[in-house]
Amino acid sequence: MSYAEKDILKVLFTQKEIEARVAQMGAQITRDYQGKNLVLVGILRGAYIFMADLTRHIDLPCQVDFMSASSYGKGTTSSGQVRIIKDLSEPVDGKDLLLVEDILDSGNTLYYLRDMLSARKPASISICTLLDKPERRKKDIKADYYGFQIPDAFVVGYGLDYAEGYRNLPYIGIVKPEVYGG
C-alpha cells in the first residue's frame, strides 16, 4: 500500500484517463490558437503537473510563465481573499493568455486574476482548468477548457494537494473526510 492509499476514499480519474483527456485538450487548444501569440500562465503550485503535460500536447510556438496566488492557505475551502505570491515575469500586452489552473472551485482566484491581468492589455484571456467543480462557484466565471467536472468533494493528486501532500499521486482521488477533519 502506498503512503496515500490509506487516505483516499475513491479514485475519481486514473492516470490513463487524465493522460487521454489532457491530450484532447492540447489538440483543441492547438486548433484554437493557430496564428496567435499564446502564453500559457500556470497558476502555482497545483497546476504544475497539468501544465507540463498540457504544454507537451500543444503543437504551436508558445511561451510559458507562472503566477502564484492563494485563497486557501492550509484549509480545504477558499477564504475568499486572494493574494499574489509570485507575479508574471514578462509583460503580456498584446499576447493571448491562457490561464492554466488545477481546479475551478469557488472561482475567487481565477476571477481576481482575470480582472487583474485584463488591465495589462493582453489580446485575449482564456481559462483552462483540469477540474471544474461548479457546485462550489461563488463568482460568475467559467472555464473555456476543462478536463473533468467533479462533485463537491475534496480531491488530491496530479498536482492538487492537502497541506502540501499528495501532489505526486499519478491519479486524482477523493480524500477521506477524517484525514482533513471534514
Active site residues: 105
Angle between helices 15-32 and 48-56 (to 10 degrees): 60
Question: d(Cα 25, Cα 20) in Å, to the nearest integer?
Answer: 9
And the C-alpha cell for 177? 473526510
For the chain, how big is the Rg over CA atoms in Å? 16
HSE (side-chain half, CA atoms, 13 Å) at 80: 4
